[in-house]
Amino acid sequence: MKIVACNSNLPLAEKVASELRMPLCNVSVRRFADMEVFVEIHENVRGEDVFVIQSTCAPTNDNLMELLIMLDALRRGSARRVTAVMPYFGYARQDRKSGPRTPISAKLVANLLVEAGANRVLTMDLHAMQIQGFFDIPVDNLYAAPLFTRDIKGRIDHGTLPYLAPPMSIPGGFQNLMIVSPDVGGVVRARQLAQRLNVDLAIIDKRRERAGVSEVMNVIGDVRGRYCIMIDDIVDSGGSLCNAAAALVKEGAVAVEAYVTHGVLTGGAVQRIAQSPIGMLTLTDSIAATEAVAQATNIRQISTANLLSRAMRAVSDESSVSSLFD
């Protein structure tokens, strides 16, 4: 078993390698003068079970090309099996024809990964479950819900939100907690977390006129006097999340925060969230934190390294991955 890291999220790759008590494979990923990607593997991978860690986040196309070229290099180096570990799967939001003469880019990316030499894909919280069917190779889709559940339970067991100054109590603990889906499409994800915590669920009914612009229509569920935690897979511009938080406060929620797997956070998203009613946005490190995210007072990250390392070990040992979520 060998672990290879490309450039998109080196801190996470180093944490995963540390969890597995293995060194990262000695590779070079660099650019020619015209910005072509060049990859060189400096150790023998013949017959090895190789895991390539690379999120296809911004700069999306550069990171995708790095991954494809690395997969090709490993295949030509006679690796026995190559698993593309993609904590964040870019292009996942283009999973269907949204209008006439539009692409299904998620399917195209799936084809590219297979043709480049991936024998298996390991990812986390795919935006659409049907993307697994775009591949003709095994796809393991991990869930951040266990991480979120553990984090929320730990904070409630301590009776405070320790990252706020001064610490703020959660009135009523679990009895006063409510999980909220910021849109109808995320109800399944939010319901699973609500069931894990044994708390109530509310839903934000919204209408999206175009990409990046949404309008809150209605809050389904009584959130008055409740401590609301919104659950989502991706936060991009932050507009939908901030609008949903404002709607919850308007309906009487005592406080609002959010747990989101992938913090894309483009444009002025960090500033928008800082000025919103969201007390704290908790992200995973599937996408490396930018300087703006690191400096934000109401954004924090929790690590996926332990979950990814356990899944990688299960794949290598040919044991159950789904048991990680029992």
Instruction: Please give the annotated binding residues, written as ranges.
Output: 34-36, 93-94, 127, 183, 208, 232, 236-240
Q: What is the pLDDT of residue 216?
A: 64
Catalytic residue among 15, 153, 206, 250: 206
Q: What count of other Cβ atoms lies within 10 Å of the Cβ of residue 123?
A: 23
Q: What is the pLDDT of residue 68?
A: 98
Place of tokens 């078993």: 1
Residue 163: which pLDDT band, with cuts at 50, 70 and 90?
very low
138 and 202 share a domain? no
Burial class of residue 6 in the structure, from the number of CB atoms within 10 Å of its CB (0-12 exposed, 13-18 middle, 19+ buried): buried
Which domain range does residue 82 map to?
A: 2-142+306-325
154 and 254 share a domain? yes
115 and 165 share a domain? no
- Give 185-253 as a DSSP string: GGHHHHHHHHHHHT-EEEEEEEEEEETTEEEEEEEES--TT-EEEEEEEEESSSHHHHHHHHHHHHTT-
| pTM attached to this predicted model | 0.91
310 and 187 share a domain? no
Q: Catalytic annotation on 15?
A: no
184 and 298 share a domain? yes
78 and 168 share a domain? no
154 and 275 share a domain? yes
Q: What is the pLDDT of residues 105-150, one digit of tens each?
A: 999 999 999 999 999 999 999 999 999 999 999 999 999 999 999 9
Handedness of CA 286, 291, 293, 298 (dihedral sign): positive
Q: pLDDT averaged over the chain?
A: 91
For 16-56, give the secondary structure using H, E and C.
HHHHHCCCECCEEEEECCCCCEEEEECCCCCCCEEEEECCC
Q: Please say whether the beta carbons of 107 and 154 come within 8 A.
A: no
Q: What is the pLDDT of residues 199-224, one digit of tens each?
A: 999 999 876 666 555 566 689 999 99
Instruction: Please give the annotated binding residues for D-ribose 5-phosphate, written as ranges.
Output: 208, 232, 236-240
